[in-house]
Amino acid sequence: MSEKRLDGRVALVTGASRGLGFAAAKALAAEGAQIIATARTTGGLEQLDDEIREAGGQCTLVPLDLMDPEGIEKLAEIVANRWGRLDILVCNAGVLGQITPAHQITAKTWNEVLGVNTIAPARFIRAFEPLLRKSDAGRAIFVTSGVGSQRAKIYWAAYGASKAALDNLVQSWAKELADSDMRANLLDPGPTRTRMRAKAAPGEDPETLPHPDEVAPLFVELALPGETRNGEIVRFGR
């Protein structure tokens, strides 16, 4: 058998129960990575586990609510005790919030959208940088959106603000990593055939959009030990 490009590497994927996270986890596993899959939806995680194992891969499931005040840090302890390092971090989990005028966005929505889309990735950086530094080539990938720093969109204030903040967070962190073996990048998949997209654009024909499986190879590319990009927003199909 030919050696796979991610053989022996440990990859953590958030929001892995469906959509982009599900597809990314399968693609990384197909290249030999040991997957640690997190999400709130256990049914989707179990399906992911079945598909990865049927294909000969390895997967560990960790149900996790990113709003849990200690959950991310406890997960870092689990990974440290079992594997001693992390090679690949994929922060994919996200929430849309409300598509509504800015003055109508509730405090509850702001707390959830910023908590999941911005603060949780910041907590992952804090909790997992030491484990990524123990890898010979730690790679971190954060899913962003063009609605963030690239262009503001009417009624998308909460989601757009959370992603603009994420872009700044990751690019700032990447500058701190410049002299290390680590790399951190953002991945903008563009409009994709996911449940979140269907909620945001209910009148859109999903068949006109790329399937998450089409985007998944880009996660693999950014996870490779030989990847040199750092602090970039890598846009699918562009």
pLDDT at 223 over 70: yes
Quickly list DSSP for 109-144.
Answer: HHHHHHIIIIIHHHHHHHHHHHHHHTSSS-EEEEE-
pLDDT (average), residues 162-180: 97
What is the rounded average pLDDT of the residues 32-43? Answer: 95
At residue 150 the predicted structure's pLDDT band, cuts being 50, 70 and 90, is low
What per-residue confidence (pLDDT) applies to 139? 98
Q: Are the CB atoms for 18 and 47 separated by under 8 Å?
A: no
CB 79 within 8 A of CB 36: yes
Token representation of residue 80: 């440290």
Please give the share of the chain, as a percent, with pLDDT higher than 90. Answer: 85
Compute how many other C-beta atoms are within 10 angstroms of the C-beta atom of residue 191: 16
Burial class (CB in 10 A: 0-12, 13-18, 19+), 153: middle
The tokens for 57 are: 């891969």
Q: Where are the domains of the chain?
A: 10-235
Query: Residue 234 half-sphere exposure, CB side, CA atoms within 13 Å?
Result: 23
Question: What count of Cα atoms within 13 Å lies in the side-chain half-sphere of residue 109?
Answer: 16
Which residues does the annotation mark as catalytic? 159
**What does residue 38 show for φ and ψ, rounded to 5 degrees?**
-125, 150
* Residue spans of beta strands (DSSP E) within 144-191: 183-188
Length of the chain (residues): 238
CA atoms lying within 13 Å on the CB side of residue 34: 10
CATH architecture of 10-235: 3-Layer(aba) Sandwich (3.40)
Residues 132 and 79: their CA atoms lie apart, in Å, by 11
3-state secondary structure (DSSP) of residue 98: coil
Maximum alpha-carbon separation in the chain: 58
More confidently predicted of 196 and 55: 55
Closest CA to 11 of 147, 27, 93, 72: 27
Q: How confident is the model at residue 200 (pLDDT cuts 50, 70, 90)?
A: low
